[in-house]
C-alpha cells in the first residue's frame, strides 16, 4: 500500500512534501514533472495519520470539546431512524447545492411496499450567478461552502427562510417537514447491503459523510437512548493545520484564490469543485516552466474554473484515449503534443488518486469509530455513496474501497450507490419522520391506560382501605383479611433447632434453622416441584414434599429426630389456629386436586403417615408475607408489615385484635394476611383494567381471580408486555408489522426480561440481544419502544403496589391514633429484588399517598422459611412459659 501512486509513474521514496510558497524550477524537465507528481503522493503512514487525527477530532467534537478551528463539526441531524420499507405518501424535495449551481425539485411517491418503487419526477433549474452571490432571502446555516455565498443567510434557520419565501409567493400549501444534509439523503435512500445502511458518503462538488451514532455519545444532545444521524462535516478537517504534511503548493494556491480562504481545506483536496482547479494549477505551472505545451499557456489555462470535474474525469479515464484529451486541451486554447497528452493524464490520475485515498482515510476513521463504539469484532455495514465524483469516475470508488480495506481491515463494508442523487433519501427522511410520529401516537395511545395519575392511585388506596375494613368485619369484600394467629414478633429469647418448609415461590425449600444466642443459622436445600406435580393430585404433591423432607433429614443427619416444624405455605388459608390452615384456593401456577377446602397441615400429616419412617411435629403454618415480616422483625422491632412481590403478591400487617371479627379477645395485636392479590375480584378495579389485563386473565388457570396480583406480580407482567407487543405489531408499529410465532407463544416473555431490559447498566444493544434471542427481528426504534412498554407496565405495577402499602400503613397509623407513624416493611420476592426501579417507585408512591408515615423498606435476606421457624420458636417459647 505504501507504494500507491499515480498510475504508470515510478514513485520516489515518498519524501514528505511540505507546502512551499514558490516551486523550485529544476533544470531537468523530467525531474520537474516527477517533483510535481510526487507532491500528490500520500504514503500509507500519512493516511493512517490522517485517519487517527480525524478520529480524535470526531471524538472530541462528539464529546462537546470545541477546539478553535478543530476541523470536524459532528452535527446531530435529528434523524433518528433509518427506513422500514413501509413508508408511504407523496413528498416534494428541493435539492440545493447538490449539483452545483442548480436547484433540483423532485416529486417522490413512496408506496409502502418493499420492492415496489415508483420513479420520482424531477426538474432542474439553473441558479444564476447573481442569485448565488446575492442577498439570501431565499436550518441554521453555519457557513456556506462550495461556491455559494448569499448574504444574510449564515446563522439563520433555513427552514424558516423557506417558509417565509413560500408565504411571499402565496397560493401554495407546502409543509416544510425536514431540512436534510445531502449525505443524510444519500444514506436514507439506500437499500441495505451486507449490513444495515448506516453511513452516507458524498463526493460531489464538496465532500462529507454522515452515520448513525448512539445518541448518548453526542454530548450536545440531552438524550441517552436511541441513535441519531450525525453529519461529520469533514470538509473543514485540517483547517487547524493538521493536513500540513500532505498539502501541496497547488493546494495552497487554490485555497488562496478561493471564496473562503483557510476554510474547508480537506474538501478542497477531494471535492469535485476543486479537482479541475488543482489540475489546472499544475498544468499552468508546468507550462510556465516550459515542460508542457512547448512552454505556452493560454488565457483559458490561466483562468480560474476553466477545467471542470468532467474534463478531469474524462482525461483521467485510461479508456478515453488520447484523442479526447487532445480535444479538451485544444478547447482550452492549447496545442498539445503526444507527450503532453500522456503527461496531462498522469497529472489527472495523481490528483484523483490522492482525493480517493484521502476520502478513504476519513471514511476509515468513521468506520473504526463505529466498530469500537459498537464493540463489534467485525463491523458489517453498508455505505451509501453519492455525488458526481462517484458517477463520473469509476476508479474513484475502486481506489476508495482498496484503501478502506487497508486502513480498516476489521470492517466488512459494502458500497451501494444512492438512487436519484439522494433525493429519494430526503423524501425518506420526511417519510420516516411521519411514520415515527404516527407510531409514537399509537404507542402513546396504547400505553396511556397504564399511566396512572395521583387521583387514580389515591382512589385505589381508598378502595383498598374500604375493602380492608369490610374484610376485617367479615362483610363481603375482595380482601379476605385472614387472621394468622401470630400475635407477637420475636423478642430475642427464642432458642432451639427447627425444621422449616417453604412452598409457593419460585423455589421449594427445606431448611434447618438453629436459633441460638449468637443469632440464627440456616442450612437449606432447594427442591424442584415439577409442573405436573403442582397441577397433579394433592396426594402426589404432599408425598413429594415428604420425600424431599426425608432426603433433607438424611443428608443433614437428622433422621429419627422430631424437630418442631414451621411450614411457609404461600397460598390463601383460613387459619383456625397456628397449626391449622384450610386452603381456600390455589393461586399462581398451582392447581393440585383435592386440596382446596382441606387443612393443609392435615394433608401434610397424612403424607407423613403414608411414609411411616418419619416423624414430624408441625407447629405452625405461615404465609410467606408473615414469614418475611417475622424474619425482618427479628432484626428490626418496627417491622410490622410483610410484603411479597414475586411470582405472586400479597401483604400482611399487625392489626388491633379488637378490629378482627371472629377471633376472641379485644386487646393486643394479630397479624392479618390480607391476600391482596384478590383485591378487585369483585370488579372494583374494572376502570383500571386494560384489554391486555383481560387477555392475560382469560388465558390464566384461574380467570376472574387474583386481578390485583395479575396487574403486579412476576408471574404476569411478562405476559402483559407480550400482549401489548402483539397489539403494536398488529398496528405495524413494531417489528415492521411482522407477527412472529415466538411472540404468539405464551410465557415466552419472562418477567426477568423486564428487569434486564430496564436495567440502566445495560445499553440498548443488550436489549436488542435479549429480543433477538427470542427471534424478534428488531430495529433500534423497536428496542426503544419495547423498553417503553416494559417501563409502563412495571411502573403501573409498582405504583399499584405502593397504593396498597399506603393503605396499610395509614390504617396502622389511624388504629393507633398517631399523628405520625414510623414503621418498617419487610419485603421479599424476585420482582421486587431484581427489578432496577420497582422498589424506588413503590417507596415514592407511598411517600406521596401516605405523607404522615415514615416507612422503611427492609429486604428479607433469608427468605420466609426463617420467619416460619421463628414463628415456631415463639410458639414453643410461649408454650414452655405456659407450662412453667
- Binding footprint of ligand BGC on the chain (CB under 6 A): 504-505, 570-572, 587-588, 623-625, 644, 646, 648-650, 675, 677, 709
- Contacted entry of ligand BGC, ligand G6P, none for residue 502, CB cut-off 5 to 8 Å set by kind: ligand G6P
Q: Which residue has its beta carbon closest to ligand G6P? A: 646
From the list ligand BGC, ligand G6P, none, partner contacted by residue 650 (C-beta under 5 to 8 A by kind): ligand BGC
Residue 623 interacts, among ligand G6P, ligand BGC, none and using kind-specific CB cut-offs from 5 to 8 Å, with: ligand BGC
Nearer to ligand G6P, 393 or 700 (CB): 700
863 binds, among ligand G6P, ligand BGC, none (CB under 5 to 8 A by kind): ligand G6P
- Judged by beta carbon, residue 80 or residue 718, the one nearer ligand G6P is 718
Report, in Å, the least distance between residue 745 CB and ligand BGC: 24
Interaction between residue 568 and ligand G6P (CB under 6 A): yes
Cell readout for 599 is 387443612
Query: Is there binding between residue 706 and ligand G6P (CB under 6 A)?
Result: no
Kindly give the residue spans of alpha helices, DSSP state H, lying in 143-198.
158-169, 182-188
Q: How far apart are CA 190 and CA 265, in angstroms?
A: 29
Does 239 engage in binding with ligand G6P (CB under 6 A)? no
Specify which residues 76 forms β-bridges with: 230
Does residue 506 interact with ligand G6P by CB under 6 A? yes
Interaction partner, residue 828 (ligand BGC, ligand G6P, none; CB < 5-8 Å by kind): ligand G6P
Least distance to ligand G6P, CB of residue 548, Å: 14
Pairing of strands 564-569, 617-622: parallel
Output 293 or 586, the one with its CB closest to ligand BGC. Answer: 586
Cα torsion for 83, 451, 674, 670, to the nearest 10°?
Answer: 120
Round to whole Å and give the CA distance between 812 and 473: 16
Q: Are strands 207-214 and 197-203 parallel, antiparallel or unpaired?
A: antiparallel
Measured from each CB, the residue nearest to ligand BGC is 648
* 8 Å CB contact between 198 and 187: yes
587 interacts with, out of ligand BGC, ligand G6P, none, CB within 5 to 8 A per kind: ligand BGC
Among 87, 233, 317, 624, the residue binding ligand G6P under the rule CB under 6 A is 624
All three cell numbers of 708: 390485583
Query: Does position 647 bind ligand G6P by CB under 6 A?
Result: yes
Of residues 161 and 825, the one with the C-beta less far from ligand BGC: 825
Partner that binds at residue 677, options ligand G6P, ligand BGC, none, CB closer than 5 to 8 Å by kind: ligand BGC
677 binds ligand G6P, rule: CB under 6 A: no
Which of 865, 869, 870, 873 forms a contact with ligand G6P (CB under 6 A)? Answer: 865
Of 510 and 728, nearer to ligand G6P (C-beta) is: 510
Tell me how far, at minimum, the Cβ of 628 lies from ligand G6P, in Å: 6
Q: Which of 204, 502, 599, 640 binds ligand G6P (CB under 6 A)?
A: 502
Active site amino acids: 509, 570, 624
DSSP letters along 48-98, please?
HHHHHHHHHHHHHHHTT---TT-S---EE-S------S--EEEEEEEEEET
Phi first, then psi: give them for residue 386, nearest 5 degrees: -150, 160
Distance of alpha carbon 757 from alpha carbon 835, whole angstroms: 10
Q: Which DSSP string corresponds to 326-385?
A: HHHHHHTT----HHHHHHHHHHHHHHHHHHHHHHHHHHHHHHHHHHHHTT-SSEEEEEEE
Name the E strands within 480-560: 482-483, 496-503, 508-516, 519-527
Report the residue from 120, 505, 566, 677 that binds ligand G6P according to the rule CB under 6 A: 505
CB 423 within 8 A of CB 106: yes
Q: What are phi and psi of 157, to 5 degrees?
A: -80, 110
Q: Looking at 185, 504, 680, 802, which residue binds ligand G6P (CB under 6 A)?
A: 504
Binding-site member from 97, 189, 235, 863 for ligand G6P (CB under 6 A): 863
Looking at beta carbons only, is 56 or 859 nearer to ligand BGC?
Answer: 859
Element (H, E) at 856: strand 853-859
Number of residues that bind ligand G6P (CB under 6 A): 18
Sketch the per residue contact string, 450 through 489, with ligand G6P: x for CB under 6 A, - otherwise: ----------------------------------------
Could you give the CA distance from residue 484 to residue 481 in angstroms, rounded to a whole number?
Answer: 9
Q: How far apart are CA 355 and CA 338, in angstroms?
A: 26
Q: How far is the CB of 528 from ligand G6P (least distance, A)?
A: 13
Give me 715's grid cell. 408471574
Kind plus residue range of the DSSP H or E element containing 411: strand 411-417
The least distance separating ligand G6P from the CB of residue 644, rounded to whole angstroms, comes to: 5
Q: Please identify, among the stretches 36-44, 50-58, 574-582, 642-650, the one whose residues bind ligand G6P according to the rule CB under 6 A.
A: 642-650
Min dist CB 625 to ligand G6P, Å, is: 9
**Collapsing DSSP states into helix, strand and coil, what is residue 412?**
strand
**Contacting ligand G6P (CB under 6 A), which of 297, 524, 570, 779?**
570
Taking the complex as a whole, the smallest distance from the CB of residue 562 to ligand BGC amounts, in Å, to: 28
Q: Residue 744: which of ligand G6P, ligand BGC, none does it interact with, CB under 5 to 8 A by kind?
A: none
Q: 778: helix, coil or strand?
A: coil
Query: Does residue 741 contact residue 707 with C-beta atoms inside 8 Å?
Result: no
Choose from ligand G6P, ligand BGC, none: what does 709 bind? Cβ within 5-8 Å by kind.
ligand BGC
Residues 311 and 324 sit within 8 Å (Cβ to Cβ): no
Report the C-alpha gap between 788 and 461 in whole angstroms. 26
Q: Which does 345 bind (CB under 5 to 8 A by kind): ligand G6P, ligand BGC, none?
A: none
Sheet arrangement for strand 88-97: 88-97, 100-111, 121-126
506 touches which of ligand G6P, ligand BGC, none (CB within 5 to 8 A by kind)? ligand G6P
Rg of the chain over all Cα atoms, to the nearest angstrom: 38
Minimum CB distance to ligand G6P smaller for 504 or for 538: 504
Please report, as residue ranges, which positions from 773 to 832 form the binding site for ligand G6P (by CB under 6 A). Answer: 828-830
Q: Which is nearer to ligand BGC, 365 or 801 (CB)?
A: 801
Whole-number minimum distance, CB 645 to ligand BGC, in Å?
8
**Is residue 642 near ligand G6P by the rule CB under 6 A?**
no
Q: Name the residue among 365, 329, 363 with its Cα closest to residue 344.
A: 329
State the nearest-atom distance from the C-beta of 579 to ligand G6P, in Å: 18
CB of 884 to ligand G6P, least distance (A): 33
Q: How far is CA 431 from CA 145, 461, 777, 789, in A?
A: 28, 45, 22, 24
DSSP type of residue 737 = G
Query: Do 13 and 41 touch, CB atoms closer than 8 A?
Result: no
Provide the total of helices (H) and of strands (E) in the chain, helices listed first.
29, 22
Residue in 569, 556, 869, 616 with CA at minimum distance from that of residue 607: 616
Q: Which of 578, 644, 711, 874 binds ligand G6P (CB under 6 A)?
A: 644
Contact 575, 483 (CB under 8 A): yes
> Residue 712 CB, nearest distance to ligand BGC (Å)?
10
Shortest CB 492 distance to ligand G6P, Å? 22
Q: Among ligand BGC, ligand G6P, none, what binds residue 572 when CB lies within 5 to 8 Å by partner kind?
A: ligand BGC
Q: Count other C-beta atoms under 10 Å from residue 8's C-beta.
A: 10
Which stretches of 706-859 are assigned E, i.e. beta strand? 821-828, 853-859
- CA dihedral (218, 219, 221, 224) in degrees, to 10, reads 70
Binding site partner of 489, from ligand BGC, ligand G6P, none, Cβ cut-off 5-8 A by kind: none
Least CB distance to ligand G6P at residue 509 (A): 7
Measured distance CA(17)–CA(245) in Å, rounded: 6
Binding site for ligand G6P (CB under 6 A): 502, 504-506, 568, 570, 624, 644, 646-647, 714, 828-830, 860, 863-865
Amino acid at each position: 500500500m505504501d507504494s500507491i501512486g499515480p498510475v504508470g509513474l515510478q514513485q520516489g521514496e515518498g519524501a514528505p512534501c511540505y507546502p512551499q510558497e514558490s516551486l523550485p524550477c529544476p533544470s531537468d524537465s523530467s525531474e520537474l514533472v516527477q517533483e510535481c507528481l510526487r507532491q500528490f503522493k500520500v504514503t500509507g503512514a500519512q493516511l493512517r495519520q490522517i485517519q487517527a487525527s480525524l478520529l480524535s477530532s470526531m471524538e472530541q467534537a462528539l464529546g462537546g470539546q470545541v477546539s478553535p478551528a478543530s476541523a470536524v463539526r459532528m452535527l446531530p441531524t435529528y434523524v433518528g431512524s433509518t427506513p422500514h420499507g413501509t413508508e408511504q405518501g407523496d413528498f416534494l424535495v428541493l435539492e440545493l447545492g447538490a449539483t452545483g449551481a442548480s436547484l433540483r425539485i423532485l416529486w417522490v411517491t413512496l408506496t409502502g411496499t418493499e420492492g415496489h418503487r415508483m420513479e420520482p419526477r424531477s426538474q432542474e433549474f439553473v441558479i444564476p450567478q447573481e442569485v448565488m452571490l446575492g442577498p439570501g432571502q431565499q436550518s441554521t446555516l453555519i457557513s456556506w461552502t462550495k461556491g455559494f455565498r448569499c448574504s444574510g443567510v449564515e446563522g439563520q434557520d433555513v427552514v424558516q427562510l423557506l417558509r417565509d419565501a413560500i408565504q411571499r409567493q402565496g397560493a401554495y400549501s407546502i409543509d416544510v417537514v425536514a431540512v436534510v444534509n445531502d449525505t443524510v439523503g444519500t444514506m436514507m435512500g439506500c437499500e441495505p447491503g451486507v449490513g444495515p445502511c448506516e453511513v452516507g458518503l458524498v463526493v460531489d462538488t464538496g465532500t462529507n459523510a454522515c452515520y448513525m451514532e448512539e445518541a448518548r455519545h453526542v454530548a450536545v444532545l440531552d438524550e441517552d437512548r436511541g441513535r441519531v444521524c450525525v453529519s461529520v462535516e469533514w470538509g473543514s478537517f485540517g483547517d487547524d493545520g493538521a493536513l500540513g504534511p500532505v498539502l501541496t503548493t497547488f493546494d495552497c494556491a487554490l485555497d488562496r484564490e478561493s471564496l473562503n480562504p483557510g476554510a474547508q481545506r480537506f474538501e478542497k483536496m477531494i471535492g469535485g469543485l476543486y479537482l479541475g482547479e488543482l489540475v489546472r494549477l499544475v498544468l499552468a505551472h508546468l507550462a510556465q516552466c516550459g515542460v508542457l505545451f512547448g512552454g505556452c499557456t493560454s488565457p483559458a489555462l490561466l483562468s480560474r474554473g476553466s477545467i471542470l470535474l468532467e474534463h478531469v474525469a474524462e482525461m483521467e479515464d485510461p479508456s478515453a484515449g488520447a484523442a479526447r484529451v487532445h480535444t479538451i486541451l485544444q478547447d482550452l486554447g492549447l496545442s498539445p503534443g503526444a507527450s503532453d497528452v500522456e503527461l496531462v493524464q498522469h497529472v489527472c490520475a495523481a490528483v484523483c488518486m490522492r482525493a480517493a485515498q484521502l476520502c478513504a482515510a476519513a471514511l476509515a476513521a468513521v468506520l473504526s469509530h463505529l466498530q469500537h463504539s459498537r464493540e463489534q469484532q467485525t463491523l458489517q455495514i453498508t455505505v451509501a455513496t453519492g455525488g458526481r465524483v462517484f458517477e463520473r469516475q469509476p476508479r474513484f470508488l475502486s481506489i476508495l474501497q482498496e484503501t478502506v480495506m487497508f486502513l480498516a481491515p476489521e470492517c466488512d463494508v459494502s458500497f451501494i450507490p444512492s438512487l436519484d442523487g439522494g433525493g429519494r433519501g430526503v423524501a425518506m427522511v420526511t417519510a420516516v419522520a411521519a411514520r415515527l410520529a404516527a407510531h409514537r401516537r399509537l404507542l402513546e395511545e396504547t400505553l396511556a391506560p397504564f399511566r396512572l395519575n395521583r387521583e387514580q392511585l389515591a382512589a385505589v388506596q381508598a378502595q383498598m382501605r374500604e375493602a380492608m375494613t369490610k374484610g376485617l368485619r367479615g362483610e363481603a369484600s375482595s380482601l379476605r383479611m385472614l387472621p394468622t394467629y401470630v400475635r407477637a414478633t420475636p423478642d430475642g429469647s427464642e432458642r432451639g433447632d427447627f425444621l422449616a418448609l417453604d412452598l409457593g415461590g419460585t423455589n421449594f425449600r427445606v431448611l434447618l434453622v438453629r436459633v441460638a444466642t449468637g443469632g440464627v443459622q440456616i442450612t437449606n436445600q432447594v427442591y424442584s416441584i415439577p409442573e405436573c406435580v403442582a397441577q397433579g393430585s394433592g396426594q402426589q404433591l404432599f408425598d413429594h414434599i415428604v420425600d424431599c423432607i426425608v432426603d433433607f433429614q438424611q443428608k443433614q443427619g437428622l433422621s429419627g429426630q422430631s424437630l418442631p416444624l414451621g411450614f411457609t405455605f404461600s397460598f390463601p388459608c383460613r387459619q383456625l389456629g397456628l397449626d391449622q390452615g384450610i386452603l381456600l384456593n390455589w393461586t399462581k401456577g398451582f392447581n393440585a386436586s383435592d386440596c382446596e377446602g382441606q387443612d393443609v397441615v392435615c394433608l401434610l400429616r397424612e403424607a407423613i403417615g403414608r411414609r411411616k419412617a418419619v416423624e414430624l411435629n408441625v407447629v405452625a403454618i405461615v404465609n410467606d408475607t408473615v414469614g418475611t415480616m417475622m424474619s425482618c422483625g427479628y432484626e428490626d422491632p418496627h417491622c410490622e408489615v410483610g410484603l411479597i412481590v414475586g411470582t405472586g403478591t400479597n401483604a400482611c400487617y399487625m392489626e388491633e385484635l379488637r378490629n378482627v371479627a371472629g377471633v376472641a379477645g379485644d386487646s393486643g395485636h394479630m397479624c392479618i394476611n390480607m391476600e391482596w392479590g384478590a383485591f378487585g375480584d369483585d370488579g372494583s378495579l374494572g376502570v383500571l383494567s386494560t384489554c391486555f389485563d383481560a387477555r392475560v386473565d382469560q388465558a390464566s388457570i384461574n380467570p376472574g381471580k387474583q386481578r390485583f396480583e395479575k396487574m403486579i406480580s412476576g408471574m404476569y407482567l411478562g405476559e402483559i408486555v407480550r400482549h401489548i407487543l402483539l397489539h403494536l405489531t398488529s398496528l405495524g408499529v413494531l417489528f415492521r408489522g411482522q407477527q412472529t410465532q415466538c411472540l404468539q407463544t405464551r410465557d415466552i416473555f419472562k418477567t426477568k426480561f423486564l428487569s434486564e431490559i430496564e436495567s440502566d447498566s445495560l445499553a440498548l444493544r443488550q436489549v436488542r440481544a435479549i429480543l433477538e434471542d427470542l427471534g424478534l427481528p428488531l430495529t433500534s426504534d423497536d428496542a426503544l419502544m419495547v423498553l417503553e412498554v416494559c417501563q409502563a407496565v412495571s411502573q403501573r405495577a409498582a405504583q399499584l403496589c405502593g397504593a396498597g402499602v399506603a393503605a396499610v400503613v395509614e390504617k396502622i397509623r389511624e388504629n393507633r391514633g398517631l399523628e405520625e407513624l414510623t414503621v418498617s416493611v419487610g419485603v421479599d420476592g424476585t420482582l421486587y429484588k431484581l427489578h432496577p426501579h420497582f422498589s424506588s417507585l413503590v417507596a415514592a408512591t407511598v411517600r406521596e399517598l401516605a405523607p404522615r408515615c415514615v416507612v422503611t423498606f427492609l429486604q428479607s435476606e433469608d427468605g420466609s422459611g426463617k420467619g416460619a421457624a421463628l414463628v415456631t420458636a415463639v410458639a414453643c417459647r410461649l408454650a414452655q412459659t405456659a407450662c412453667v
